[in-house]
Structure 1
């Protein structure tokens, strides 16, 4: 791991600010130029209205998935102050979740203990009571409603943090509602709220899929017998192939560069794809270490037909332990 880290650090030092931060900041900036979708939603013609809804859904996914993910890792700025500001803005105002809980749960738990049973095993995405069709294709549509409710019931957060989360989430929801009423011309409260729900749920299904496809079903480890970090990350993480829509809305580090992201979580999406992926893949192949990749449809087929085994009945830890 130290040898690979030195190679990656060399690449990072030789990269420009545009490569390290600029490309991803520009993509997020473009997503915020969302006035055209609001104007299209004011159109009475169905094709224009549908296009506005689609563009708003894409922009929302870019901001709330790619943006919140990069902000949680501090990948948008070199300044500690700006990192905190970005985390609160993207996670709470835009993502309707708690920045404190989000960073702790994702960075300090999932990344630190990837595929360790009871810690970073992605069990938060399992709902054993639901049948497979409901879980995989219908339940994710409720994510926009569930997310802010879960944010208000996080353990370990002080009253001040909870109050800030409530205010920031309310600011984000109220801002979008105000734009729909005053720019798009929605006269019905229910119509504006339905529009918000549709655009926020547009990418919920692939979002849940991505979160389970890339970890669950791969080797799991016990806390007492965890492998070396490089083995833990290469065995317990999987890359999906390049997908134009998901790569640019969710970010490369969540789709085609997830292995690289787990090895070096502080890097931006552009750095993972353009600079680090060739280094990591060639190094792992050279050292005969696993570099796991599979297609979206292949993983969907696996989870659909082995739903009980993977998502309902978790085998004993002795059956899950991988290379030690």
Structure 2
């Protein structure tokens, strides 16, 4: 293993809500009760961190990164046969090519971009930046800088803190619930590059040019291959195929992003609990799902709690430490929230106005603030 990552450190990795140990001269410690209580709270995250760190150190490169890199490589290897199958005039083979490309695109643009944004694909910072630009901009049609800032520095640092990392970016209150939950997500492939351009306002010319070139490269490459390899005869049919492939998993993608945070406790920017309480109260795991586990990754589905506690871990490592984390939180009488996909869908459909339209109420976690 390399030097201890920032997230392992006792300051909690940012956001101002970490677990900084009090010095011996701290007044609260001298005063007894309150100081000891603070140290006990702070030591919970540090104790769990040591348990997880031990597992990471004992794990092979294959477990830490290799398996997830292999899944991404397999997705890229699926693209050539997908383009060839799309050239077939037989409906079965054409449909197989469409499905194969849609699955590969989801793996690359959801799992790949998520891991790349966290630097989980390489221990090298230089390679980490390269993969972030490649996956987020070339493959995902979004700005790497805006994506990393919004996801890492806002959502993870301020999970469920109102006005900072409260997932409000996923709310579109003027849309009816049926449209929002089942129809609007199909427009995500079109909206994403437009939002990326809007996010570039105020940035340097070099960054704007790079992002535009990388996004254009990704989109045009798929279009060119559909025309020249798959044999599409018109620009309209090629663009329609691109839209279908890129929107194939858009509905569950939107669902997953709202199911795991919205509707859970919300915190005030000035009164937030310690990190371990913030993450265990404000994050929810969905159950194992063979399709989504492979396309989105464990850290976005059944190990989301583990991911928010230790965001630098790969999908496979999140799955490996899951028994340790769940057991520890249960023993310490901390919440380990889990719910089914259909249960969350039922909740959001019937409480859409409360959860997605009106402003969320702030939760007071008495005794742990």
Give the TM-score range, shorter chain: over 0.9
Map 1:48-59 to 2 at 5 A. 48-59=93-104
Q: Counterpart in 2 of 1:168?
A: 214
CA RMSD across the alignment:
0.9
1:150 lines up with 2:192 in the alignment:
no
Map 1:10-159 to 2 at 5 A. 10-33=54-77, 34-154=79-199, 155-159=201-205
Q: Deviations over 1:106-158 (max 9, x none)?
A: 00100000000000000000000000000000000000000000001115532
Structure 1 counterpart SS, 2:198: coil
Change over 3 Å in CA distance of 1:179–1:71 after alignment to 2: same
1:201 lines up with 2:247 in the alignment:
yes
**Aligned equivalents of 1:236 and 1:156: distance in 2?**
32
1:279 lines up with 2:324 in the alignment:
yes
Q: Counterpart in 2 of 1:225?
A: 271
Q: Counterpart in 1 of 2:24?
A: none
**Aligned equivalents of 1:252 and 1:166: distance in 2?**
31
Q: Deviations over 1:55-103 (max 9, x none)?
A: 1000000000000000000000000110000000000000000000000
**Aligned equivalents of 2:221 and 2:134: distance in 1?**
13
1:290 to 335, 349, 354: 335
Q: Give the TM-score normalised by structure 2.
A: 0.86
Conserved in 1, the CA contact under 8 Å of 2:266 and 2:361? no
Where structure 2 has 5 or more consecutive residues not aligned to the other structure, the ranges are 1-44
Return structure 1 stretches of 4+ with deviation > 4 angstroms: none
**Aligned equivalents of 2:242 and 2:339: distance in 1?**
33
Q: Counterpart in 1 of 2:48?
A: 4
Conserved in 2, the CA contact under 8 Å of 1:220 and 1:322? no
Deviates more, 1:308-317 or 1:56-65: 308-317
Deviates more, 1:152-161 or 1:201-210: 152-161
Where structure 1 has 5 or more consecutive residues not aligned to the other structure, the ranges are none
Change over 3 Å in CA distance of 1:112–1:146 after alignment to 2: same
Q: Counterpart in 1 of 2:299?
A: 253
1:214 lines up with 2:260 in the alignment:
yes
Q: Deviations over 1:251-288 (max 9, x none)?
A: 00000000000000000000111x21011011001111
Q: Counterpart in 1 of 2:36?
A: none
Conserved in 1, the CA contact under 8 Å of 2:75 and 2:108? yes
**Aligned equivalents of 2:266 and 2:86: distance in 1?**
46
**Aligned equivalents of 2:307 and 2:157: distance in 1?**
12
**Aligned equivalents of 1:156 and 1:257: distance in 2?**
36
Change over 3 Å in CA distance of 1:66–1:172 after alignment to 2: same
**Aligned equivalents of 2:210 and 2:365: distance in 1?**
42
Change over 3 Å in CA distance of 1:174–1:9 after alignment to 2: same
Q: Give the TM-score normalised by structure 1.
A: 0.98
